[in-house]
Amino acid sequence: MKRLLLAVTFFVIGLNVFAVELPKTEVIKVNGNLYALLGPPELPNKANRGYMVNSTLIIGDKGVILVDTGFSDEIGRHLNGVIKGITDKPVTHVINTHHHGDHTLGNSEFKGAEIISAEKCKELVEKIGYEWIGMVEGMTGLKFPNTRPVPATRVYPEHSHNAVVLQGVKLDLWVPGGSHTPGDMLVYLPDDKALMGGDILVNTITPNFRDGNVKTWITTLGEITRMDLKTIVPGHGPLMQMQDVHAMRQRMLALYAGVEKGYKQGLMDSDIRKTLDLSAWKRLKHFDANMGTNISRTYLEVEAANF
Ligand SMILES: [Zn+2]
């Protein structure tokens, strides 16, 4: 009996050691068929194990659609658990808003689901998906041996609006010109007046320009401001209001104009930085992590446009 107890105790301890503790998902019920599943706002670290993405759950007739799946297989599993607490219906469709690992590397957990993205997103997942696993492992100091990139099986070309019906739900899958990345997809639900922006929209957080095209991004934000929206789910941070989209666009416009002004005066990007008013940016999270890259990226774009 004693031996049995000991064995059971070890088994339970063993389970606890291997159970992965991820930060809680903030579930926001927009209506009975639409839930924003908000991840924590911090960058990947050991405690959050790379969980940082906002996902969206859209409930249809016989199955559900999940927008964005997290940075690893375990985050995908975590999201699946959250979904099971909301609905019994299976995830039949996954939409990736862009190729970055924090939005795509949980795809493998949704076996049998059709994965949908922009054409260029699929190509980039195939090409550099493993680099993103290396990136999250580097940032968290953890290993994710079971994470693997799974590209989309259904894709849409750049500069397209695609009206589709999935599980009885009307969607517009909007692929703008490359904005945050070359292969962005925004998801619009006309019946709910809801938009999932991926990282074209981030709230209270410094956007990341590393793969972006700032000018096209500003144009896309302008198009969003002309939409009639009730719910705006950003890729990171709390739900947005239209005034937040306007503010994000204004910050980016002012940054581009400031860099262009400096460029025309013959300044290098490091000197241009000193001339910029970054007060509106400094209030955002991850300013220190992203802003240097953002200014350099904008400089390269200004240079190319003025060459
Ligand atoms: Zn992201």
The token duo for 19 is 């159970």
The pLDDT score that the predictor gives to residue 5 is: 56
For residue 101, how far is its CA from the centre of ligand 1 (angstroms)? 8
Under 8 Å between Cβ of 178 and 165: no
For residue 279, how far is its CA from the centre of ligand 1 (angstroms)? 23
pLDDT tens sequence across 252-271: 999 999 999 999 999 998 89
Give the span between the Cα atoms of 208 and 238, in whole angstroms. Answer: 17
For residue 239, how far is its CA from the centre of ligand 1 (angstroms)? 15
The pLDDT score that the predictor gives to residue 243 is: 98
pLDDT tens sequence across 109-118: 999 999 999 9
For residue 235, how far is its CA from the centre of ligand 1 (angstroms)? 6
For residue 1, how far is its CA from the centre of ligand 1 (angstroms)? 52
The pLDDT score that the predictor gives to residue 15 is: 45
For residue 199, how far is its CA from the centre of ligand 1 (angstroms)? 5
- Residue 162: CB partners within 8 Å, gap ≥ 6? 156, 172, 173, 174, 175
Domains and CATH numbers, the chain: 2-306 (3.60.15.10)
Determine which helix (DSSP H) or strand (DSSP E) holds 246, and give its type and residue range: helix 242-264
For residue 100, how far is its CA from the centre of ligand 1 (angstroms)? 6
Give the residues of the chain that fall short of pLDDT 50. Answer: 12-17
pLDDT tens sequence across 193-232: 999 999 999 999 999 999 999 999 999 999 999 999 999 9
For residue 166, how far is its CA from the centre of ligand 1 (angstroms)? 24
The pLDDT score that the predictor gives to residue 52 is: 98
For residue 62, how far is its CA from the centre of ligand 1 (angstroms)? 29
For residue 102, how far is its CA from the centre of ligand 1 (angstroms)? 5
The pLDDT score that the predictor gives to residue 6 is: 55
